[in-house]
Structure 1
Amino acid sequence: MASQTSPKHIVFDIVGTLVSHEHFYDVISTRLGTALEPHNISGRLLGYAWLETAEREYTYLSLSGRYVPFAKIFQAIFFRVLHFAGVHEPRSVANEEDVEYFIQEYKNCTVRPGARECIDRLQKSGWTVWAFTSGDRERVKGYFNKGDISIDNEHIITCDDVGIGKPEIKAYERVKERIGAGKDESLWFAAAHGWDVSAASRAGFKTAYCTVLEKEPLEDVFGKTDVTADTLPALANKVIEAA
């Protein structure tokens, strides 16, 4: 067990965990709501399907040995998602200008309530806080700047940096190498995605899961985490206590 004087590191997922998708869903509903109504598609469900489909294709490509940045896949796949949603002529509902607008507004998503408190509490308790994201660095830095999150550029690691997408175990192992934590140091991974903490656990991290995004932990599917909490400040408290 690490002593109280041993360095402590915690790595956070960003989008979905510290940053909410709600603004992104709202702008889709506002801009396309009327056009989507005849197809019985809500802006929120379309936004969710778009994000999830892009993440799947991003992951599959990485697993196959072809790494493509998430941002490129995300922008390219929009009309395919509309097709699968049941819109026979996707470009009759939206155009490239709409897609570009949504991509820009995605950068304006905001940090979750309690996110700043969570990070500040850990840092004041002696933790070094890192970020590991499939998002691009400048977008993530923008989220942090607007939300007053004190994770500096040197502590942001992107999948683009390591050339491997989550949830490949090698991606988390690369993060461990970047951190350089010794065997006596506490090393944790925190996320609101069950698959993310599950993979991090198999890479050797202690894990902290927040239900703020997915609501249902589904431990029979993803396995147990070392700590689980419903809010980000509560997660910070439990990690500090556990360590």
Structure 2
Amino acid sequence: MSLQDDIASCAETVHSGDPMRFLSAMTADGADRDALMVLYAFNVEVARAPWVTEEPMIAEMRLQWWIDAVEEIFTGATVRRHQVVTPLAELVARRDLPRGPFDALIAARRWDIYKEPHADDAALWSYLDGTAGSLMALAVQAMDGQGDAAVLKAANAYGTACGAAGLLEAVPALEAANRYPLVDGTAQGVSALAGKALAQMDAAKTALKGVARPKRAALRTGWLARGVLRQAVREPALVGAGMLGRSDAGKRLRLMGLAATGRF
């Protein structure tokens, strides 16, 4: 298979496994869109690894497979042939992406293997930082082609806050699978979590305004997060009822408006 075939396969993986990120990536142009599809496909594969089996040891082995693949990419070893790993290695080299966020993303997903709740708020926010935060920082660097420390720190914080919104939307499904992602599931606790995430989004967004408009598709994965978090602050009972968010039509209209005006 050619590199473009691999990228097309990545796009299919994202379309089926993470449709909201797929839609946001489609607001990017050309090579930037390809970069996002590759990163998001990597995220889909790592995120699903703990869920394809009930056996923790097998899930650990699946995550180890990705740890080993990242090791090959960053140490100059022969990189295994794989429809995601192969284009990811090319992207890492072309955009000089750092290893740390990849390692953090995989390590954070170990929580999904087991059924113990997060130990405390710090553990919950560490999970969000390692997953959604790391991914957004990588996406911004892959598109922007720079390693500006302040921008990447803000991207990580923004992504972490967006991850909190996604987590709140997923609470009913996670609890049905015997995972308990909230440290404090009371109305007060949910509202506090959402409020903290909103404040973090606002602080990070100021620093991210310097990202060039054509490169902001990396930030648009959070195009629904603010609305979800505001809902959770006002009506925390919606979280347990699985009623956060807006209609599919409303989601698409919101994204189209942001893309047309260069916002995120």
Using CA pairs under 8 Å that are at least 6 residues apart, name the structure with larger relative contact order, 1 or 2: 1
TM-score (norm: length of structure 1): 0.31
TM-score (norm: length of structure 2): 0.30
Q: Greater strand percent: which structure?
A: 1
Q: Computing the radius of gyration over CA atoms, which structure comes out larger, 1 or 2?
A: 1
Q: Greater helix percent: which structure?
A: 2
